[in-house]
A and B are shown apart, each in its own frame.
Chain A
Amino acid sequence: MRITGQKLWVAGIAVFAAGIGAAMAGAGVASAQAQPQLRSVYVAGALPVTDPTSASWAQAAPVNVALTPQIVTVPMLLKGTIPSLEVRSLNNGDWIAFRLEWEDSSLDGTAITQDKFRDAAAIQLPVDPSIPGVCMGVRGQPVNLWHWKADWQTDIDAGFQDLTNAYPNFWKDYYPFAVGKPPFVVPQDFADADARRYLVGWAVGNPLSQPARVTPIEELVAHGFGTAASQSSQSVLGRGQWQNGRWSVVFARPMTTSGPDEAQFTPGGKGFVAVAAWNGSNQEVGGRKQISADLALTVAAPPAPAQQVSQAPIPAPAEPSFVKRYWWAGAVVLAALLVAGAAVLGDLYGRLSAAERKVTE
């Protein structure tokens, strides 16, 4: 890899971030000893992309990840409320899915009144998988954020959360250019462009203000604190469910996408992933969050290698990072071949998979 000044700078920031991590560890919050690993387990067939309760998740080993309050930039969260969460990942070669689960005794599923904040969770993925994601990215080294919002989930599950959800007896006679009857309904009675003008965020296209939600997860790219911007194309699906004082949330996306500044996954590839969580009842929002250190991510490849290798498309080795990534893919496939050879002697498929994990990690 060509070491550019920029990369050195990024490395410097990474060292700084590691220093902060170490400081946190010193305070007894997280262990910087061994970088936690997350393995995205390969499963054949459809992934439970919108089902956090699916039995398929049992196939992915849960990793318990420590969270620490965000204290690098203002506003900070000085005292966290979610000490850890559990992460799993599955992939089927086309899609990759993550599942986060954490304890939260209060369900904060709306944000329609002055002092109510939503629960939320996010996954951070560096766009360049060879470099660990610095918190919220830095200029030239962006990160992808998949941000699940409990209020969006409620909008999807129970319909757009309108005033009448907060105030059942709400009544107002008139809104300019709105059609329909009091107390009126968003969005249908405000569909007219002139009526929408009075809902400014909606009119100017702010993704937070769009009443028709397709997914509870927003895909963003960030180049540093305060820069997170919604991606023009949104392809992350998912669903969150609160049960017995625990949230479980699925995030899923095709492994490869065509959008700019988007993290890409390859079977057998490696990368990094960090997670964050917000507790609405503690008014946690934006930078008031708890975050994890980076986990080293391994995306397990499908187990039947020989045929698939010959058919695998070869990406153009334009960038050094691609070559590097492909080298790893090759190594994983080679290892898988060796293991497969040994497995012929009588190992079952399950043991083959375990052995592969040992070799690739």
Chain B
Amino acid sequence: MPKVFNWQLNREMDYPYPAAIPKKQFAAVFDLNKCIACQTCTFACKNSWTVGRGQEFMFWNNVETKPYGGYPIAWDAKLLEMLGPQGWDAGTYTGKTIFEAAPAGRAALGFLPEELDWIHPNIGEDETSGIVPGGMHMTIPHDVWNFYLPRICNHCSFPACLAACPRKAIYKRKEDGVVLIDQERCRGYRECNRACPYKKAMYNGITRLSEKCIACFPMIEQGRQTQCIVNCIGKIRIAGWIRQPKDIDEEAPVDFMVHVRKVALPLYPQFGLMMNVYYMPPIHVPVPYLQQMFGPGVEHALEVYRNVKDDEQLLGLFLLMGSTDRWVDKFRVKDGKAFGYDAKGSEIVRVPIKEPNFVRPFHDVARNTFRHNIT
């Protein structure tokens, strides 16, 4: 089996095909400290792409409450259990990926969710990690916690869905790294549904084929960010190109957050897919839980996040998240403002890092009236 280098594991790993890193790779960063589980992203996606017959249960974008929620039910807990305890040695993964742990006769370790696993897309909503005892709400910090995890397809660099498809019906586009299921070649075998650890390939029982998130490629082609990103109420998301660590562009938003500041981390990197949606971990959640989910970079990421008020570059970039529906190729922060530029280098957005403060008098003498909101 060919060996490919997975920088998220800092080592080579087995993959059924040689590495084919696309010219550009779609990526996104989600800030889990800001998601409010409003599900606007979920419905932005649903209204765009999955209103068809046979897609009723499909949420290519979903938001689940951790630690107990999951769509489909227990998608991650189940696979973690199948994989068993695995280890990291500093930044290098010493355990097995789902490809290396593949059972005989299969491309990857995985399971096919059962029909009923899909029927509660928001099971465990708002549940906390434990019971809140009386009086706890009076003191900070709380021992119980939860957080919201919005998920889309990761448009992985080493997709398990693609690896498992015996028809070669799944392909990764050279121009943007988007992973698609060819609806002409697919024969509904559901090997992708079984192999994708994130369960983002789903079966349409009416067309009897599998379907998945398309990264809103028609929007990407027009220099726009995806539906679930531009419609995000919490402004927790930004799309961008991600480069390999050796080719980093420090002015590219995703590169900056992932490679330079290392504040955004892959979801379950140990599965080995070199996935391309990155998360800023929630700062109130116990570190061991986060490490299981985001790998060994968690403590560093939390520290960077906590100190963002002193990091003008990162702060400026945070403010560009959700500020434009255009694709931000590069950003710069100067003179107290954050600027976003398109592929041609033209400015597409400008955001002040600090909004100017206007204070109006409580008593407006001219109108002889009182204001409730004076700033």
Contacts and interface: CB of A to CB of B under 8 A. Distances in A.
Given A115-B114, A201-B209, A74 B51 contact: no
Interface in B191-224: 191, 193, 202-209, 211
Contact of A111 (B52, B202, B208, B211): B208
Contacts of B113: 114-115
B166 A226 contact: yes
Contacts of B104: 76, 78
A202 interface: yes
B203 A114 contact: yes
Contacts, number: 120
A208 B186 CA distance: 9
Interface string A225-237: 1101000000000
A11 B167 CA distance: 25
Contacts of B211: 200
A163 B54 contact: yes
Nearest to A225: B166
A123 interface: no
Contact of B52 (A75, A116, A199, A228): A199
Contact of B166 (A74, A166, A198): A74
A74 B207 contact: no
Contacts of A285: 188-190
Contacts of A163: 53-54, 56, 205-206
Contacts of A226: 166-168
A199 B207 contact: yes
Interface residues of A, number: 42
A71 B52 CA distance: 37
Interface string A174-204: 0110100000101000100000001111101
B166 A112 contact: no
A279 to B, nearest CB: 15
Given A75-B191, A198-B53, A199-B53, A112 B107 contact: no
A103 interface: no
User: Secondary structure of the B side of the interface?
Assistant: loop
A286 interface: yes
A112 B205 CA distance: 4
B306 to A, nearest CB: 42
Interface in A11-32: none
Given A75-B166, A175-B52, A208-B187, A166 B105 contact: no
A287 interface: yes
A358 interface: no
A162 B204 CA distance: 11
A111 B188 contact: yes
Given A75-B166, A115-B113, A162-B206, A198 B52 contact: yes
A198 B51 contact: yes
Interface string A21-54: 0000000000000000000000000000000000
B166 A184 contact: no
A172 B56 contact: yes
B23 interface: no
B106 interface: yes
B164 interface: yes
Contacts of A245: none
B43 interface: no
Contact of B184 (A75, A113, A186, A206): A206
A308 interface: no
Contact of B107 (A75, A172, A208): A75
Given A116-B115, A206-B183, A208-B187, A201 B105 contact: no
A130 interface: no
Contacts of A228: 187
A215 interface: no
Contacts of B209: 200-201, 206, 208-209
A80 B241 CA distance: 46
A274 interface: no
B107 A201 contact: no
B183 A73 contact: no
Contacts of B184: 204-206
Contacts of B112: 114-115, 283
Contacts of B167: 226, 286
B118 interface: yes
A300 interface: no
A168 B128 CA distance: 36
A118 to B, nearest CB: 9
A190 B107 CA distance: 37
B206 A200 contact: no
Contacts of A297: none
Contacts of A199: 52-54, 204, 206-207
16 contacts: A74-B16, A75-B105, A75-B164, A75-B166, A114-B113, A114-B117, A114-B202, A162-B206, A176-B51, A178-B53, A200-B52, A200-B211, A201-B207, A202-B207, A209-B206, A286-B187
Interface of A: 71, 73-78, 111-117, 151, 162-163, 166, 172, 175-176, 178, 184, 186, 190, 198-202, 204-206, 208-209, 225-226, 228, 283, 285-287
